Amino acid sequence: MTVHFGFPLETILIFFAAIGFSVYVDLHAHRKQTEISFKDASLWSLFWIALALTFYAYLWLRFDKKWADLYLTGYVLEKTLSVDNLMVFMAIFSSFAIKGILQHRILYWGIIGALIFRAIFVVIGTSLFFASAWVGFLFAAVVAWSGWKMLVSRSDEEEIHDYSNHWSVRMTEKLMPVFPRLHLDKFFVTAAIVKDLQDADPTLQVKKVAAVLATPAFLCLMAIETSDVMFAFDSVPAVIAITQEPLLVYAAMIFAILGLRSLYFVLASLTRYLIHLDKAVIGLLFFIAAKLALQSWNHAIGDTGIHISPNLSLIIVLGTLTLGVIASLVFREKEDAQ
């Protein structure tokens, strides 16, 4: 008889209460800041990791180590895969010349969108997986294709992507008028504000006047949101490879995502040191694709007798991530010389 974790009401209440309270505390702590320091970002990253581990301890003590390990493996995997997403965020912020606390504000609203879209993708993904074991082969192909794209794009590292011309930006510009400059930390400005700014700077022009105009900060948010949706197509199947329990998948992804804002500022400072971490991410994507294919084969075609346990998955994920960090530290000087 197959036992499912399901949707315990107590767990759902604790999960959303922890998320709501923590986000409120985070926003309250940063409400008057103008810059995010490396120290502040590091401390908040540790806070979000501690929160995720506390939920792990709750699952272990309240239910069973099996469920806790599935959640933790999914969390570590999502956190690792997020590294590539954060690199894209860096390029997007650079394209729009977004700096400092405004990055934190945009990432906050981006994560609100991620909470919604992840919920939709997790429900659809797990439902499809339960509907047919053959869906796992499709998910495996998606994850493997993501790994292949990352592998191929490594040869194009010198290419700089201009996200100010991203399709989501062009679509937004067609739907509403745009003010060409940043104004404080605002996503929108009113016609009255535009007039005052034009009086101060007569060279400032807008293509179309309206009651409300979007600023480059909002265009940047649109690029962040759409990029994250594309990222979800890769990461959701990857975490589903670990466990098909919707609540555990969603909890793992959300706890990982909530720490992305702080992790972004840490990674932005350390990116020149972690030069081989992307290779570890590529390796994990191919491992997850193979695990999905094997899992689907066992269910849809015939049991091969080969099963990758949650503990082994966790060891492989953590081990691969550790190797990527160690390789970055050991071979950094050689890479710099080249």
Burial (0-12, 13-18, 19+ Cβ within 10 Å), 112: exposed
In this prediction, residue 10 carries a pLDDT of 92
Give the length of the chain. 338
pLDDT score for 298: 79
Residue found by looking up tokens 């960090």 in the block: 325
- In this prediction, residue 158 carries a pLDDT of 45
172-176, Cβ contacts within 8 angstroms, sequence gap of 24 or more: 172/214, 172/218, 172/219, 172/222, 173/219, 176/210, 176/212, 176/213, 176/214
The whole-angstrom distance between residue 205's C-alpha and the CA centroid of its chain comes to 36
Q: Tens digits of per-residue pLDDT, 196-236?
A: 887 787 777 777 778 888 888 899 888 888 888 777 777 77
CA distance linking residue 238 with residue 73, whole number of Å: 11
For residues 55-66, give the mean pLDDT.
92
Predicted confidence (pLDDT) at residue 267 exceeds the cutoff of 90: no
Query: 141: which 2 tokens?
Result: 């192909």
**Is the per-residue pLDDT at 252 higher than 80?**
yes
> For the chain, what are the domain ranges?
15-160+221-337
On whether the pTM is more than 0.85, the answer is: no
Helix or strand run (H / E) with residue 56 = helix 38-62
Portion of the chain with pLDDT greater than 90, in percent: 7
What is the pLDDT, as a whole number, of residue 155?
A: 53
Q: What is the pLDDT of residue 53?
A: 93
Residue bearing the bigger pLDDT, 241 or 8: 8
| Better-scored residue on pLDDT, 154 or 51 | 51
**Residue with the larger pLDDT of the pair 337 and 240:** 240
pLDDT of residue 55: 94
pLDDT at 56: 94
Cα 304 to Cα 1, 82, 144, 296, 307, distances in angstroms: 20, 32, 21, 11, 8
pLDDT digits (tens, 9 = 90+) for 73-104: 888 888 877 776 777 787 788 888 887 778 87
Please report the pLDDT score of residue 1 as a whole number: 39
DSSP 259: T
Eight-state DSSP code of residue 178: B
pLDDT at 32: 63
Percentage of the chain with pLDDT > 70? 89
Task: Give the pLDDT band (50/70/90) at residue 140.
Answer: confident
pLDDT at residue 9, rounded to an integer: 92
Strands (E) across the chain are located at 188-190, 212-214
Mean per-residue pLDDT, 227-251: 81
Q: Is the per-residue pLDDT at 263 higher than 50? A: yes
Fill in the DSSP letter of residue 205: -
How much is the average pLDDT of 137-149? 79
